[in-house]
Structure 1
């Protein structure tokens, strides 16, 4: 058992099984043994690689899309340029470099990084210099907000429910003879249809964060771009662990593996609409990047001597790599032009 596994087992012995949400939050954010508190998870030496680490093209185009939204909304100042879960700061670094080409935006923008990990905060300062760190989205200031979130919502804690004869039973983490194991709590009634054995997932934290972001944008202006893997009205068990770039049992090494779940964009869009903002339906990451000129940018980099530029472009955009698994969704204020590459969702909050 890992040190964190022993702590979790002790907690279960004392108070009973815990929800998957409790398990995920403990594994990722425990101050002493949590995954993000103890390591840099990115790159070849870590456990996974994100789009900004693959190519600067991703961050540059995200930055220019936000910059166009800023121009379309009349160049407000001051503004907050924010990123939740910024990892090493690579994405924000690329965004900042790209927006330097837009007169006035760099001077108008104050960077705010939403980061819980003390270790990663130091990594971000080393890359970006002195930036403002926030503990949560609730600390975002009351001013126009331009936000990029890449692979943030997938790491928020989820709950799972499995359909049984008597209703929906929550899946919980308990103890077996050989360590941690999944079990079922007492059934409850949920407003969901399903067959025996079906699994549904719920991410209350995701909707809560989106509500805060969208409320700031609805009230003060701005835009948000959300990029993550997932779909619309998702169904099934997507809870997963990644360690040393390979999948493994999510209960095998608590605190030493990245834990995520596919993002259901439907409740995020509904939360944004309820908060008074406009939401787009998700589009494929590959289609969105291509619509913004990713191929031309990759070719320019290749012509300048970047031998990996075209391979990185294909990895980001091809349907059989990241291009279709990852989706992009945008949020903007009522009455403002759409964020480049997106169209407004034509549903109300109850239908989304």
Structure 2
């Protein structure tokens, strides 16, 4: 049992069974505070790390909506859970070319990841939570942020807990599972309140489903392979699929508009990843195969293209994000 696993076992002995929500929150807080989980030497790889095309197209979408909103000079770029800062670097390169001169604000609680972000993104301003962002229009992106927020699980209406059994951690009940995430709803509502009050646009990208599907989606990833969620507590990434219908419902604040959710592959193709791939290959013919492989991984149905979804939120008077109509 890991150090955190032993601490959680002691907590269970002292306080009683832990909800799945409490377990997931404790594990991910410890996990992200103690390591850089990204890349070949970590546990998983996110889309911005696969190729620059991903961040560039996010930047192009944000540039487009900013220009169509009238180029407000008080708008800021913001990102929730910005990883190593790769997405922000690529997106801002495109935004700057469009004339955007706003500040960069990163919501990040991991000291290790903040170090990486600060190296890559000089001048970035760091915040512990969404509510600390400036009261300005946002050009915000959250890529693989919501999946790590804790969920609650229920079996036949009774909440599922983590207990001690057989000398280790175990779930107290099994069966058909329903999941909700008050934490995700709260963040989405807070984001929508900001957009309602100050304007802006947000792009949320994550893996999940669109029509309120149910089932057990809690999963762990360790060294780029799936693992059992109750093993290696605090030393593997715990996530669950995002319910995009629930996000859209939580965003219904004032005049905030939530787009339909579309697949990542469809969105990137609509934004022109094919043309961008061809342009990059023409300039770097030695990288043609790598660029083509990256496009397939980001867009193909059997890769990230279908599992990952994209939704846009916009404040009053702001146009819809390209490729994400109402």
| TM-score with structure 1 setting the length | 0.89
Partner of residue 80, structure 1:
76
User: What's the offset of the Cα at 1:197?
Assistant: 3.4
How far does the alpha carbon of each residue in 1:205-225 deviate from its partner, in whole angstroms, 9 at most, with x for none?
111111111111122211000
C-alpha distance in 2 between matches for 1:133 and 1:276: 28
Partner of residue 235, structure 1:
214
C-alpha distance in 2 between matches for 1:334 and 1:237: 36
C-alpha distance in 2 between matches for 1:65 and 1:273: 22
Partner of residue 19, structure 1:
19
SS in structure 1 at match of 2:126 = strand
Partner of residue 211, structure 1:
189
Partner of residue 172, structure 1:
161
Q: How many residues align?
A: 322
User: What's the offset of the Cα at 1:80?
Assistant: 1.9
C-alpha distance in 1 between matches for 2:35 and 2:11: 24
Given that 2:21 and 2:152 are in contact with CA atoms closer than 8 Å, whether structure 1 keeps it comes out as: yes
- Whether 1:113 aligns to 2:109 is no
User: What's the offset of the Cα at 1:250?
Assistant: 0.6
Partner of residue 102, structure 1:
98
C-alpha distance in 1 between matches for 2:314 and 2:231: 41
Runs of 4+ in 1 over 3 A off after TM superposition: none
- Whether 1:299 aligns to 2:278 is yes
C-alpha distance in 1 between matches for 2:104 and 2:78: 6
How far does the alpha carbon of each residue in 1:58-105 deviate from its partner, in whole angstroms, 9 at most, with x for none?
1000011011111111111211210011110010010111112202x1
Partner of residue 6, structure 2:
6
How far does the alpha carbon of each residue in 1:15-70 deviate from its partner, in whole angstroms, 9 at most, with x for none?
101111111111111xxxx1111111011111101100001001000011011111
User: What's the offset of the Cα at 1:337?
Assistant: 2.0
Partner of residue 303, structure 2:
321
C-alpha distance in 2 between matches for 1:178 and 1:298: 53
How far does the alpha carbon of each residue in 1:212-240 deviate from its partner, in whole angstroms, 9 at most, with x for none?
11111122211000000001212000000
User: What's the offset of the Cα at 1:271?
Assistant: 1.2
- Whether 1:149 aligns to 2:111 is no
Change (3 A) 1:176 1:161: same
C-alpha distance in 1 between matches for 2:93 and 2:19: 42
| TM-score with structure 2 setting the length | 0.96
C-alpha distance in 1 between matches for 2:309 and 2:170: 32
Change (3 A) 1:5 1:262: same
1:180-199 correspondence to structure 2 within 5 Å: 180-184=169-173, 197-199=175-177
Runs of 5+ consecutive residues of structure 2 not aligned to the other structure: none
For the aligned residue pairs, the C-alpha RMSD in angstroms reads: 1.2
Given that 2:200 and 2:318 are in contact with CA atoms closer than 8 Å, whether structure 1 keeps it comes out as: no
C-alpha distance in 1 between matches for 2:73 and 2:297: 36
C-alpha distance in 2 between matches for 1:276 and 1:7: 46
User: What's the offset of the Cα at 1:275?
Assistant: 4.9
Given that 2:55 and 2:91 are in contact with CA atoms closer than 8 Å, whether structure 1 keeps it comes out as: yes
SS in structure 1 at match of 2:179 = strand
C-alpha distance in 1 between matches for 2:281 and 2:42: 27
C-alpha distance in 1 between matches for 2:111 and 2:213: 33
How far does the alpha carbon of each residue in 1:117-152 deviate from its partner, in whole angstroms, 9 at most, with x for none?
111111110111131111111112211011011000
SS in structure 1 at match of 2:42 = coil
C-alpha distance in 2 between matches for 1:341 and 1:79: 21
Partner of residue 193, structure 1:
none
Given that 2:74 and 2:137 are in contact with CA atoms closer than 8 Å, whether structure 1 keeps it comes out as: yes
1:58-77 correspondence to structure 2 within 5 Å: 58-77=54-73
User: What's the offset of the Cα at 1:267?
Assistant: 1.2
User: What's the offset of the Cα at 1:336?
Assistant: 2.9
- Whether 1:311 aligns to 2:290 is no
C-alpha distance in 1 between matches for 2:272 and 2:325: 18
